[in-house]
């Protein structure tokens, strides 16, 4: 098939911006490499450097892709990512402080967005307006206005977008979907996840704040549209624990749960939500995200969905889909099982837990890379981002207000009710 205009332009002008970091000669090698796809990485922290770069690397030779540019407000982070590109490809990626410089490059075809939650929509909007394909981390949005705006922008264009809810691309998840669609467990009554730990996840991302230097960070670039305040190394590395930059476990962990439900069961958007939460265990560090929370949604298909987190005790984690003929147990995502457990009608399912037969599909990063060339819809397109964002925004509002939240699909808004 013919290449899209942005890809043709890349092949003609890929060496145009090489003076930023590399010689024109070295970049000309990329142009001549049989339609190599040039990737830009926006956000070089844990998700960008570890998940995104490591997720693409096993496929980069076969799919003929290369990280050619990286951006991050933190100097050491972007230098680390650029050095990895040097190790892998024999030339360092160009380094930038701002995402604006990445999306302005004519010779970058697609971007991978691994910035903090409050910047996801901003960065995706910029990429789409610049005609770049995109892979964007979850949750997609923290408010309905931004969610509706970026959804409409993507739908109006032709860019390939993949949401970073990678669990739906496990072979075991595809197997659960096939099993459910066969009618094996009958009508669903409840879907639940209890995702517990002895300590909130944001502690594991933190680095020693006193070792961070303000001169190494473009603080305004990190804050984005958030109010300016003095540099704070703890906030920079521990942003997962602050409500100003993320909505906490219901959004950050619950979106994976919601997305997997949508994929397996085929549901999309809930009718209503109630939720509660608070900080009951880890009170000493000044974080504003709750260490305990729970949310319950009602879906129009006629079942309850419940998510909870206990970061004061690691026992009791579970994830199950309950049906009238049996249960699918996804507590071990890499080894889910099914059985007649709890059936209220005569069931032909085995009484003992039986492994779900996996269905082989491309992993999440390979799926995106393949779709960059075929222009087909990804396994987690923008609709998946919309369908996980609405429920978690509802859950966050319900927790904050103590009031039931209703989603109006016609107006695309959430209201109390």
Does residue 228 register a pLDDT over 60?
yes
- Report domain 5-159's class: alpha beta
State the average pLDDT for the chain. Answer: 92
Model confidence band, residue 205 (pLDDT cutoffs 50, 70, 90): confident
Nearest to 328 by CA among 176, 114, 159: 176
Tens digits of residue pLDDT in 339-349? 999 999 999 99
**Segment 272-286, tens digit of pLDDT:** 999 999 999 999 889
Residue 11 above 90 pLDDT?
no
Q: List Cα–Cα distances, 335 to 39, 169, 176, 304, 363, in angstroms.
A: 33, 14, 10, 24, 16
State mean pLDDT over 317-331: 98
Q: How confident is the model at residue 32 (pLDDT cuts 50, 70, 90)?
A: very low
The 10 Å CB-count burial string (b at 16+, else e) for 360-386 is ebbbbbbbbbbbbbeeeebbbbbbbbb
Q: Which CATH class is domain 171-360+381-416?
A: alpha beta
* Mean pLDDT, range 226-246, rounded to an integer: 96
Beta bridge partners of 320: 192, 329
Tens-digit pLDDT profile for residues 357-395: 999 999 999 999 999 999 999 999 999 999 999 999 999
With the C-alpha atoms ordered 276, 282, 288, 289, is the resulting torsion angle positive or negative? Answer: negative
CB atoms within 10 A of CB 393: 25
Alpha helix stretches (DSSP H) within 36-91: 53-56, 60-63, 75-89
- Is the backbone peptide bond immediately before 139 cis, with ω within 30 degrees of 0? yes
Token pair listed for 8: 């043709």
Give the per-residue pLDDT at 207: 76
Q: What is the pTM of this model?
A: 0.91
Kindly tell me if the per-residue pLDDT of 403 is higher than 80: yes
Tell me what pLDDT residue 34 has.
Answer: 57
DSSP H/E element including 364: helix 364-374
Q: CB of 200 within 8 A of CB of 280?
A: no
Q: What is the mean pLDDT of residues 29-44?
A: 77
Joined tokens for residue 397: 């509002």
Strand segments, DSSP code E, in 109-176 are: 110-113, 133-136, 161-163
Q: Give the largest Cα separation in the chain, rounded.
A: 71
Q: What is the dihedral of CA 399, 402, 403, 404, to 10 degrees?
A: 40
Q: What are the φ and ψ backbone dihedral angles of 320, each rounded to 5 degrees?
A: -140, 150
Q: 155: which residues sit within 8 A by CB, 6+ positions away? A: 382
Joined together, the tokens standing for residue 89 give: 């490809």
Residue the block writes with tokens 């997305």: 259
pLDDT at residue number 27: 40
Domain boundaries, the chain: 5-159, 171-360+381-416
Q: What is the pLDDT of residues 42-95, one digit of tens each?
A: 999 989 999 999 999 999 999 999 999 999 999 999 999 999 999 999 998 999
């Amino acid at each position: 098939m013919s290449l899209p205009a942005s890809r043709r332009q890349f092949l003609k002008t890929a060496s145009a911006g090489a003076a930023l970091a590399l010689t024109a000669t070295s970049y000309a090698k990329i142009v001549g490499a049989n339609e190599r796809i040039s990737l830009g990485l926006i956000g070089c922290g844990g998700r960008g450097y570890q998940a995104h770069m490591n997720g693409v690397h096993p496929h980069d030779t076969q799919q003929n892709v290369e990280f050619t540019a990286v951006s991050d407000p933190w100097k050491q982070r972007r230098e680390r990512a650029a050095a990895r590109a040097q190790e892998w490809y024999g030339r360092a990626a160009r380094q930038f402080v701002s995402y604006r410089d990445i999306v302005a490059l004519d010779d970058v075809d697609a971007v991978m967005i691994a910035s903090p939650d409050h910047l996801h929509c901003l960065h995706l909007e910029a990429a789409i307006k610049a005609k770049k394909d995109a892979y964007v981390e979850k949750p997609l949005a923290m408010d309905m206005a931004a969610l509706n705006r970026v959804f409409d922008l993507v739908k109006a264009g032709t860019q390939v977008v993949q949401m970073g809810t990678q669990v739906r691309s496990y072979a075991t998840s595809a197997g659960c979907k096939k099993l459910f669609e066969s009618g094996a467990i009958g009508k669903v009554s409840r879907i639940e996840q209890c995702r517990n730990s002895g300590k909130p996840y944001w502690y594991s991302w933190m680095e020693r704040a006193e070792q961070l230097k303000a001169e190494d960070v473009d603080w305004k670039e990190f804050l984005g549209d958030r109010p300016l305040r003095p540099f704070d190394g703890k906030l920079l590395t521990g942003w997962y624990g602050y409500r100003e930059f993320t909505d906490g476990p219901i959004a950050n962990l619950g979106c994976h749960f919601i997305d997997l439900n949508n994929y397996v069961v085929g549901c999309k958007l809930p009718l209503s939500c109630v939720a509660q939460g608070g900080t009951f265990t880890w009170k000493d560090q000044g974080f504003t995200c709750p260490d305990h929370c729970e949310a319950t949604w009602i879906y129009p298909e006629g079942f309850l969905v419940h998510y909870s987190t206990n970061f004061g005790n690691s026992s009791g984690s579970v994830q199950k889909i309950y049906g009238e003929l049996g249960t699918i147990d996804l507590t071990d995502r890499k080894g889910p099982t099914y059985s007649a457990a709890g059936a209220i009608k005569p069931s032909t399912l085995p009484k003992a837990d039986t492994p779900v037969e996996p269905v082989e599909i491309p992993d999440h990063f390979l799926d995106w890379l393949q779709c960059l060339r075929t222009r087909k819809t990804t396994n987690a397109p923008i609709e998946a981002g919309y369908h996980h964002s609405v429920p978690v925004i509802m859950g966050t509002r319900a927790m904050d207000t103590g009031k039931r939240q209703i989603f109006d699909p016609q107006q695309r808004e959430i209201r109390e009710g």
